[in-house]
Amino acid sequence: MNPVLEPLFKTVRATHPKADLRLIERAYETAAYHHRDQKRKSGDPYITHPLAVATILAELGTDDETLCAALLHDTVEDTAYGLDELRADFGENIALLVDGVTKLDKVKFGDAAQAETVRKMVVAMSRDIRVLVIKLADRLHNMRTMRYMPEHKRQQKSRETLEIFAPLAHRLGMNTIKWELEDLAFTMLFPKRYDEIARMVSERAPRRDLFLQEVIENVHSDLREQKIRATVKGRPKHYYSIYQKMIAKGVAFDDIYDLVGIRVLVDTVRDCYAALGTIHARWNPVPGRFKDYIAMPKFNMYQSLHTTVIGPEGKPVELQIRTRAMHHRAEYGVAAHWKYKEEMVASNPGGKVKDVNDMAWLRQLLDWQKETSDPGEFLESLRFDLSVSEVFVFTPRGQVIALPDGATPVDFAYAVHTEVGHRCIGARVNGRLVPLESRLGNGDTVEIFTSKSPDAGPSRDWLKFVKSGRARNKIRQWFSKERRETAIEAGKEAIGRAMRKQGLPLQRLMSGEALLALARDLHYPDVSALYAAVGEGHIAAQSVVQKLVQALGGVEGAEEDIAEAALPTQLKGRPRAGTNAGVMVAGDPDVWVRLSRCCTPVPGDDITGFVTRGHGVSVHRVDCANVGQLQEQPERLVEVAWSPGDDSVFLVAIQVEALDRPRLLSDVTRTLSDHHVNILSASVTTSRDRVAVSKFTFEMGDPKHLGHVLKAVRNIPGVYDVYRVTSGA
């Protein structure tokens, strides 16, 4: 046996004892031979990649055909070894798997191409879901070695991983792969946010570990008393999931971190409920936080009891209680399926084993595949569907329908049938009439009223509140076919309204040429298609206006001249003494000088002077955004040099980026005050992903002091980046 394969075979023997090791070895030798002259970006022989992918899959317990396909997955694409040869050497099944993975890799990634790739993935999945399992393992190994790739490639691949591959792993129940993919992509995309969360986690680790130990011992002793055989252990928190909780639930970091996770593994389903009763007897459960996924499994076969109790010191503790078989499925998902399928076939030779393609979500995805002609729209629907949790509601006949969390009766109507959705005019939930935009909860019974009128159709307002990709697609399709003219008018009106709101010149901006150029930039064939897209809600009117303004050179053109004229007039009457700007003008040391506020220059910056109309010289950094316009009047530019005195005061602007939390602003302002800087202005905005961006402008006498100020602000908990802002930055 080849010694290189020993670690792989050791794993295969543990997870899949009946695997054909000779077949796997033959696949390795074939791949090694054909990749013999190829190297990876890291300089390693290429064969290390297929071998690593196969090892990841072996750890998940996949079958020998999947392992062979993983070893051979790049041969057809990257070497002279053809699919027909592979079929002759290894059989039809392995050839189909390799062909499926090759098809996924072939398409180049742009926006539409990316959607096409995902589509091919869905088609390949529908034939054999193992294709996707191989693809996920392939992506995981590529993410582990992503540091050898150029920066733009790292960003692109990480974004795809977060938006498509990690959610797909989640949908297939492969949590171990999902968590690692998320953390790797998070590190690449937001290294500073990742480091800050890692720092906050490590600072609190010792205190948390003591608390965890106490909880585990209590649970252990209680279960032993009740004669329940169980394994109790702490559940690791993943950095990206901590970040997600901060965003989705708006929870401060300390509140998340008090939620200590415990996992209890027992032998039988009966033991799960017995353990739950024992734990609730010791600690009070938190109302509304108990979920029974054993009786009603999640979409991806996940089963577990979830509860949150008020533990020692009054701190909440999250517990998951499940059998060992459920745990295996929760960690490895679909990949664990074949093992169980084999065991079930062995124990039940005559019985029918439910195939993995019965997973409802997969069928739904294939329905979209047929319905949605626009690849971009398909991708949006997929991203949305992958990112939401679910509620389960009943039809009047008791059939269960799964919908995205926050779904409305309209989503329910479209889930029942497209025509029911189009003709929906009202709904009754649990026997009471409700508005169509009301949210459905778990266990609601929903009845839909439909219109008999031949002209019945959906309302454009529904797009504002529907949650499911299917409903959104169907409503948009209806408007695309039936209401193009109306959409064009509505789009035109929306763009005009957005311009009037900003006080922009309508005639100039809506001239045919400017709009046509913009439509082509956005990949629409003509202006009417652009209007229709706005009318149907595919693109926001505000976004079109912004792009138009940028295309025509921006609206900031005259700002510098207004600022130059306005600022000195405000300064009239202010005493000249004590306002030394610390700058000398070449040839005339007596000219009044002021430091421009647009780029806040300080000693050490390269600067240039601009003679304003009758109000002295304004000083700008040479990389200031406004210098380009000033250079159009070279006769008004003058040479200037730094000459700071003891009474010189300089304006400095800094930007602070932090993970949002209560009292953040007061901590930053207190730190600045402690460093004796005079804050003139402050602004704070918080983005949807819970990142607080604060800008401060303050006065300083000695610019060398700035480094100490930035360092002090950087040490505030939650702050992951702070830097000086100049318009050139």
Give me the pLDDT at residue 580, please.
Answer: 63
Sequence-separated (6 or more) residues with CB below 8 Å from residue 396: 445, 446, 447
| pLDDT, tens digit (0-9, with 9 covering 90-100), for 655-689 | 999 888 778 888 888 888 888 788 888 888 887 77
Whether residue 258 has pLDDT greater than 60: no
**pLDDT higher than 70, residue 579:** no
> Confidence class of residue 359 from pLDDT cuts 50, 70 and 90?
low
**Residue of 262, 259, 326, 253 whose CA lies nearest to 293:** 326
pLDDT band of residue 615 (cuts 50, 70, 90) is low
Q: For residue 622, what is the enclosing H or E element?
A: none
Nearest-10 crossing angle of helices 527-535, 484-502: 80
The pLDDT assigned to 707 comes to 85
| The pLDDT of residue 570 | 33
Q: What is the CATH number of domain 200-332?
A: 3.30.460.10
What does the block give as tokens for 524? 């629409």
Residues 2 and 29 sit within 8 Å (Cβ to Cβ): yes
* Residue 462 exposed, middle or buried by CB count within 10 Å (0-12, 13-18, 19+): buried
Q: What is the pLDDT of residue 518?
A: 81
- pLDDT for 83 equals 81
Tell me the average pLDDT across 525-530: 81
Q: Does an H or E element contain 444, and which? A: none
Q: 20, 25, 29, 78: which one is catalytic?
A: 78
pLDDT digits (tens, 9 = 90+) for 512-523: 567 777 887 787
Question: Annotated catalytic, 77?
Answer: yes
- What local confidence, expressed as pLDDT, does residue 637 receive? 83
Across the beta sheet with 230-234, the strand order is 230-234, 260-266, 316-323, 305-310, 291-292
Cα–Cα dist 282/661, whole Å? 33
pLDDT in tens, 100-127: 777 655 544 445 555 556 665 666 555 6
The arithmetic mean of pLDDT across residues 494-509, rounded, is: 73
pLDDT tens digits, one per residue of 713-724:
988 888 888 988
What is d(CA 263, CA 305) in angstroms, rounded to the nearest whole number? 10
For range 481-506, the mean pLDDT: 76
Radius of gyration, CA atoms only, the chain: 32
For residue 321, the model assigns a pLDDT of 93
**Higher model confidence: residue 14 or residue 352?**
14
Would you state the pLDDT for residue 336?
57
What pLDDT digit, counting tens, does each position of 406-416 carry? 899 999 999 88
Checking if the pLDDT of 6 tops 90, the result is no
Separation of alpha carbons 440 and 66, rounded Å: 41
Side-chain half-sphere of 521: how many Cα atoms within 13 Å?
11
Closest CA to 487 of 456, 517, 528, 546: 528
Work out the pLDDT band at 98, boundaries 50, 70, 90.
confident
For residue 178, the model assigns a pLDDT of: 87
Predicted local distance difference test score (pLDDT) of residue 109: 45
Catalytic annotation, pick one of 77, 85, 390, 667: 77
pLDDT of residue 382: 64
pLDDT score at 264: 92
Which one has a higher pLDDT value, 510 or 678? 678
As a whole-number percent, the residues of the chain with pLDDT over 70 amount to 78
Tell me, what's the pLDDT at 354?
40
Is residue 346 predicted with pLDDT exceeding 80?
no
Sort strands 593-595 and 617-621 into parallel, antiparallel or unpaired.
parallel
| 78 noted as active-site residue | yes
At residue 345, the pLDDT reads: 42
Residues 164/386, Cβ–Cβ less than 8 Å: yes
**Position of tokens 């480094």?**
707
Average pLDDT over the chain reads 77
Q: Cα dihedral angle (580, 584, 588, 594), rounded to 10 degrees?
A: -50
Average the pLDDT over each of 120-129, 246-255, 348-357, 622-631 and give the range with the smallest value: 348-357
Q: Highest-confidence range of 14-18, 120-124, 299-303, 692-696, by mean pLDDT?
A: 692-696
Mean pLDDT across the stretch 366-395?
65
User: Would you say residue 563 has pLDDT above 70?
Assistant: no
- pLDDT of 205 > 70? The answer is yes
Rounded to the nearest 10°, the torsion over CA 16, 21, 25, 30 is -80
- 407 in Cβ contact with 440 (< 8 Å): yes
- β-sheet bridge partners, residue 723: 655
Neighbour-count burial of 45, counting CB atoms closer than 10 A to its CB (0-12 exposed, 13-18 middle, 19+ buried): middle
Percentages helix, strand, coil for the chain (3-state, rounded to 5) are: 55, 15, 30
464 pLDDT above the threshold of 80: yes
Q: May I ask the CATH class of domain 650-724?
A: alpha beta
> Using one digit for the tens of pLDDT, what is the confidence trace for 49-61?
888 888 888 887 7
Class of domain 3-174: mainly alpha
Query: What pLDDT does residue 727 have?
Result: 58
Q: Is 166 left (phi over 0), alpha (psi -120 to 50) or beta?
A: alpha
Say which range, 35-39, 82-86, 147-151, 295-299, has the weakest mean pLDDT.
295-299
Q: What does the pLDDT look like over 538-559, one tens digit per residue? A: 788 888 888 877 766 555 432 3
The CA distance from 159 to 146, in Å, is: 13
Write out the two tokens for 186. Answer: 């998070």
What are 133-175's pLDDT values in tens digits? Answer: 888 888 888 888 888 888 888 888 888 888 778 877 877 777 7
| 574 phi, psi to nearest 5 deg | -80, 135
